[in-house]
Amino acid sequence: MRFNTKVIHGGQAHEPTTGAVMTPIFQTSTYAQLSPGKHQGYEYSRTANPTRTALENSLASIENGQFGLAFGSGLAAMDAVIKLLGPGDEVISTNDLYGGSYRLFTKIFENYGIKFHFVSMQDIKAIEDKINRNTKLIWVETPTNPMMNIIDIEAVSKVAKKYNVLLAVDNTFATPYLQQPLNLGADIVMHSATKYLGGHSDVVLGALVVKDKDLADRLYFIQNASGAICGPQDSFLVLRGLKTLHVRMQRHCENGRTVAEYLFNHPKIEKVYWPGFENHPNHRVAKEQMKDFGGMISFVAKGGNFEEAIKIVENLKIFTLAESLGGVESLAGHPASMTHASIPKAEREKIGVVDSMIRLSVGIEDIEDLIEDLKQAIG
Ligand SMILES: Cc1ncc(COP(=O)(O)O)c(C=O)c1O
């Protein structure tokens, strides 16, 4: 199956008892057994639930993996990955990453003796320099949030393999429509499915996909033992969202390009961060690694003024000022006070997340309406 067919049919089967074309919401916590241990593959819904299984199979299919795991949130999925490690182990992570991921690493797992190094991964040597015999995991987020830097997954995977270190990629911004990290040598793909995979801003859910059976078994063990699973209703919503991923992403990319070019040519805008520009520092890697450049854009108005940025986001009418991204509707965010507030100001500014930065998640509305909205808000 090709990608567009996989998002609809990959890993799916009609429901055997009724022939229901779509997997129903199996709203049950437990399953009848004929005799102890004699059942139809399901015992208790923390361990497995048929609606979640259908979603997990779909996720594995679209990411070109073998095993999918769904969790109650993107951070719950990340939490399970870090629980593969133990005290004394070290992780090398992208320095410019989602604030909540940074908080999970530094405020939770550092307390359990795991050490995190945050490095700019545009320079592969910077990663190699930090590797020592305790290094167990490299954590990559690309495109990065909100700077839209692009990290060369294949190049990082070569380093990971050389030193026998696991490579996990947060594929939330790109989605498998744009890039498939397992094909580029990653061991684990992670998603905040809350974003593009769900696609309708109506559910919080996380996902992991892997190819290796042993790794999958360790993660399934953690998923069941720690219990941060998603419910059947939420699994259903993401499964339903996935079926239009390809058409939504195509439009997100088209609208994203028009918005990026509009902002780039706007006399009041200082800087636009979008990997589709030929002068973007990582454009070559983006072009090779991704099918298109996505609908996420960050920008800074001239003067670099905090009040000006706040005025723009307050003036927007079709773009909604809100946390999150990846839904059909356009959203605007102010990273310094919203998504990245959990990163200390000095750390944030080192990587370019200044107080005047605005981040857009360009939706799939009529592009003329989006441009008119930006025009009236920026003035
Ligand atoms: C890139 C990225 N990774 C992880 C997360 C965390 O996902 P969730 O909010 O579903 O826990 C987010 C949420 O914004 C994100 O943007």
How does pLDDT run across 40-85, given as a tens digit for each residue? 999 999 999 999 999 999 999 999 999 999 999 999 999 999 999 9
- Which of 182, 152, 200 has its CA nearest to residue 326? 200
- Which of 31, 46, 163, 251 does the annotation list as catalytic? 46
Mean pLDDT of the 338-351 span: 85
What pLDDT does residue 343 have? 82
Mention every residue, 6+ apart, whose C-beta is less than 8 A from residue 34.
Answer: none
What pLDDT does residue 305 have? 84
What pLDDT does residue 21 have? 96
What pLDDT does residue 200 have? 98
pTM over 0.75: yes
Query: β-pairing, 269-273 with 206-210?
Result: unpaired
How does pLDDT run across 249-306, given as a tens digit for each residue? 999 999 999 999 999 999 999 999 999 999 999 999 999 999 999 999 999 998 878 8
**Separation between Cα atoms, residue 101 and residue 117, nearest integer Å:** 13
What pLDDT does residue 238 have? 98
pLDDT of 350 strictly over 90: no
Q: Is 103 a catalytic residue?
A: no
pLDDT of 344 strictly over 90: no
Residues whose beta carbon lies within 6 Å of some atom of ligand 1: 73-75, 98, 100-101, 141, 145, 170, 172-173, 192, 194, 204, 206
What pLDDT does residue 144 have? 93
Between the alpha carbon of residue 68 and those of residues 44, 213, 308, the distances in Å are 18, 11, 44
Cβ 372 vs Cβ 295: under 8 Å: no
Q: Is 195 a catalytic residue?
A: yes
Nearest CA to ligand 1 atom 13: 192
How does pLDDT run across 199-249, given as a tens digit for each residue? 999 999 999 999 999 999 999 999 999 999 999 999 999 999 999 999 999
Backbone phi and psi for residue 25, each to the nearest 5 degrees, phi listed first: -85, 105
How does pLDDT run across 19-48, given as a tens digit for each residue? 999 999 999 999 999 999 999 999 999 999
What pLDDT does residue 315 have? 97
Confidence of residue 170 (pLDDT cuts 50, 70, 90): very high
Nearest CA to ligand 1 atom 2: 98
Q: Is 98 a catalytic residue?
A: yes
Q: Is 170 a catalytic residue?
A: yes
* 202's tokens: 């109506």
68 φψ region: left (φ > 0), alpha (ψ -120 to 50), beta (else): beta
What pLDDT does residue 347 have? 83
Mention every residue, 6+ apart, whose C-beta is less than 8 A from residue 231.
Answer: 49
Give the mean pLDDT of the chain. Answer: 96
**Separation between Cα atoms, residue 248 and residue 147, nearest integer Å:** 23
What pLDDT does residue 339 have? 81
* Residue of 79, 101, 200 best suited for mutating to test ligand 1, as the one with most atoms within 8 Å of CB: 101
